[in-house]
């Protein structure tokens, strides 16, 4: 037993935890009363849907609104909530409610789960995470339900409001509108569009940032991490909005038929959602190639650390940009807001980025083999969306071959847990060397 506990370090526990949740969801979605036709999903489709929900991705091979019964939809919703917050967050919360003591190893697992830099105050932060989640999801559900009551019975409207609030706050992007149309019916609706955008944004900046903003009235300070997350998120969101508005303004299949306010809303929504959400108000296959490439870029960056979102993360992107700028200026230090970034952080940012690039390239290459005959941009879009844990699709997902679905399942899992976490879980840690090799010189550039 002691050897097993020693073997199960935090990365291994996180990988096994998400794997267990996905397999449990697969079993439940395979049951006859999970689907409208009474047959349940096939194992592969159930595994795909369960993994997508547990990893808060959003890619679907069957239509959520028309395929599943209320039971099946609630299973998906539970997987989204559990996967978004993390199983360790739930376990700690219930342990605290029962008055149990949180051990050091459990605190280490929590730190890894929520991507905190320290175990100090991690239990208090976990309580705050639950509070933030419940409060924000209830508020979002009320706003969405108030809009949905105009076109459906109040009970159904409340259910739709709750489902879409949880789905989008956790950056999952599952919807119940039917027909793989996502939220296209609400492209010009300010209540739905702005509420969903707010849920995605707040859910994507990370709980550590939320907690610091919440405490700002008392502390009157924000950490460097929070400043970089907020600044980078602002630039990417509004920069993306402007570019999409300019690129799609005259496209008769997307923005041209909309009013001026509708054009701005749709541009803002399509700028926010690639940051790891999966919802959309425009038909992505109708977007121009330049806009699709911009979305791929935004998907690759993704959300922020400590959130349910994927991608290389905003702080990683900002750190690399800072390193490039410092190199151009001939400076050794990477400085943000008068604070120097450690070299270890820069190396980690570079490692995460290269890992993300390789994962996307390998997945794209394999999909061009398994899905031969499909448009390359569509395959690249699908690969980046899956590996960056986003969930947007140009329509390829339901048409994937069995091998293609298996590849996407692996990519969604890696996108949620993180390639580095999987590598740490699988690899055998080497002991530090007792000596160092002499430095060598190579030419770069």
CB of 52 within 8 A of CB of 382? no
Q: Report the DSSP beta bridge partners of residue 35.
A: 68
Confidence at residue 4, expressed as pLDDT on a 0 to 100 scale: 45
Confidence at residue 413, expressed as pLDDT on a 0 to 100 scale: 86
Query: In the structure encoding, which two tokens stand for residue 246, read together?
Result: 């300019």
Query: In the structure encoding, which two tokens stand for residue 21, read together?
Result: 């949740």
Q: Report the DSSP beta bridge partners of residue 334.
A: 341
Confidence at residue 122, expressed as pLDDT on a 0 to 100 scale: 65
Query: In the structure encoding, which two tokens stand for residue 241, read together?
Result: 């909005």
Mean pLDDT, residues 132-161 = 93
Cβ-proximal residues to 126 (8 Å cutoff; 6+ apart), any chain: 89, 92, 93, 96, 110, 114
pLDDT at 347 over 60: yes
What percent of the chain stands above pLDDT 90?
54
Confidence at residue 435, expressed as pLDDT on a 0 to 100 scale: 65
Tell me: the pLDDT tens digits for 17-49?
A: 778 889 999 999 999 999 999 998 999 999 999
Mean pLDDT of the chain: 85
Provide the pLDDT confidence category of residue 1 given band limits of 50, 70 and 90. Answer: very low
Q: Mind giving me the DSSP string for 296-309?
A: HHHHHH-S-TTSS-
CA-CA distance, 430 to 63, in Å (whole number)? 46
Sign, Cα dihedral of 262, 270, 176, 81: negative
Domain ranges of the chain: 9-426
User: Dmax of the chain from CA atoms?
Assistant: 74
pLDDT at 187 over 80: yes
CB of 409 within 8 A of CB of 400? no
Cβ-proximal residues to 94 (8 Å cutoff; 6+ apart), any chain: none
Tell me: the pLDDT tens digits for 361-384?
A: 999 999 999 998 899 999 999 999
pLDDT at 431 over 70: no
Provide the pLDDT confidence category of residue 210 given band limits of 50, 70 and 90. Answer: confident
Confidence at residue 47, expressed as pLDDT on a 0 to 100 scale: 95
CB of 421 within 8 A of CB of 15? yes
Q: Report the DSSP beta bridge partners of residue 341.
A: 334
Provide the pLDDT confidence category of residue 121 given band limits of 50, 70 and 90. Answer: low
CB of 331 within 8 A of CB of 305? no
CB of 126 within 8 A of CB of 89? yes
Tell me: the pLDDT tens digits for 103-119?
A: 555 555 555 555 555 55
CB of 106 within 8 A of CB of 17? no
Q: Which residue has the higher pLDDT, 207 or 148?
A: 148
Least confident of 94-103, 271-280, 284-293, 358-367: 94-103
Cβ-proximal residues to 320 (8 Å cutoff; 6+ apart), any chain: 346, 349, 350, 353
pLDDT at 14 over 80: no
Residue among 158, 115, 83 nearest 391 (CA): 83
pLDDT at 166 over 60: yes
Mean pLDDT, residues 409-432 = 66
Relative orientation angle of helices 87-97 and 122-148, to the nearest 10 degrees? 110
Query: In the structure encoding, which two tokens stand for residue 187, read together?
Result: 């492209």
Confidence at residue 56, expressed as pLDDT on a 0 to 100 scale: 86
Cβ-proximal residues to 35 (8 Å cutoff; 6+ apart), any chain: 29, 41, 67, 68, 69, 72
**At which residue do the structure tokens 């054009």 appear?**
263
Q: Which residue has the higher pLDDT, 99 or 131?
A: 131
CB of 298 within 8 A of CB of 287? no
Query: In the structure encoding, which two tokens stand for residue 33, read together?
Result: 């009363």
Confidence at residue 424, expressed as pLDDT on a 0 to 100 scale: 46
CA-CA distance, 406 to 371, in Å (whole number)? 12
Sign, Cα dihedral of 415, 418, 420, 426: negative
- Work out the number of other CB atoms within 10 angstroms of the CB of residue 255: 25
Residue among 43, 50, 56, 66 nearest 402 (CA): 43
């Amino acid at each position: 037993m002691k050897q097993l506990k020693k073997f199960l370090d935090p990365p291994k526990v996180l990988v096994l935890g998400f794997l267990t949740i996905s397999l449990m969801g697969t079993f439940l979605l395979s049951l006859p009363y999970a689907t409208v036709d009474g047959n349940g999903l096939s194992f592969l489709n159930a595994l795909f849907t369960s993994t997508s929900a547990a990893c808060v991705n959003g890619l679907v091979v069957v239509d959520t609104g028309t395929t599943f019964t209320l039971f099946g939809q609630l299973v998906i919703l539970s997987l989204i909530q559990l996967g978004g917050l993390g199983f360790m967050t739930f376990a700690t919360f219930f342990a605290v409610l029962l008055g149990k003591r949180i051990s050091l190893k459990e605190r280490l697992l929590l730190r890894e789960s929520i991507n905190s830099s320290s175990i100090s105050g991690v239990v208090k932060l976990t309580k705050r995470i639950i509070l933030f989640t419940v409060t924000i999801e209830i508020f979002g559900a009320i706003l969405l339900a108030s809009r949905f009551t105009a076109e459906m019975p109040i009970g159904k409207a409340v259910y739709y409001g709750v489902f879409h609030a949880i789905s989008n706050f956790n950056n999952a992007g599952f919807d119940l509108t039917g027909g793989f149309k996502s939220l296209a019916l609400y492209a010009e609706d300010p209540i739905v569009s702005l509420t969903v955008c707010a849920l995605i944004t707040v859910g994507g900046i990370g709980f550590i940032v939320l907690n610091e903003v919440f405490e700002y009235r008392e502390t009157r300070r924000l950490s460097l991490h929070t400043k970089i997350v907020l600044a980078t998120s602002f630039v990417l969101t509004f920069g993306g909005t402007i570019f999409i508005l300019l690129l799609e303004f005259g496209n008769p299949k997307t923005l041209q038929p909309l009013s001026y306010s509708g054009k701005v809303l749709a541009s803002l929504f399509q700028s926010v959602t690639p940051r790891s959400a999966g919802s959309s108000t425009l038909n992505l296959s109708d977007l121009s190639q330049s806009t699709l490439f911009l979305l791929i870029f935004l998907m690759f960056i993704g959300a922020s650390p400590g959130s349910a979102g994927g991608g290389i993360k905003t702080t990683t992107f900002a750190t690399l940009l800072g390193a490039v700028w410092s190199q151009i200026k001939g400076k050794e230090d990477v400085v943000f807001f008068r604070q120097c970034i450690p070299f270890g952080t820069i190396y980690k940012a570079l490692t995460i980025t290269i890992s993300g690039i390789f994962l996307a390239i390998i997945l794209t290459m394999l999909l061009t083999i398994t899905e031969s005959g499909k448009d390359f941009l569509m395959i690249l879009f699908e690969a980046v969306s899956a590996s960056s844990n986003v969930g947007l699709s140009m329509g390829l997902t339901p048409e994937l071959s069995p091998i293609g679905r298996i590849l996407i399942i692996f990519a969604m899992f890696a996108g949620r847990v993180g390639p580095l976490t999987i590598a740490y879980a699988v690899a055998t840690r080497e002991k530090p060397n007792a000596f160092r090799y002499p430095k060598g010189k190579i030419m770069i550039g």
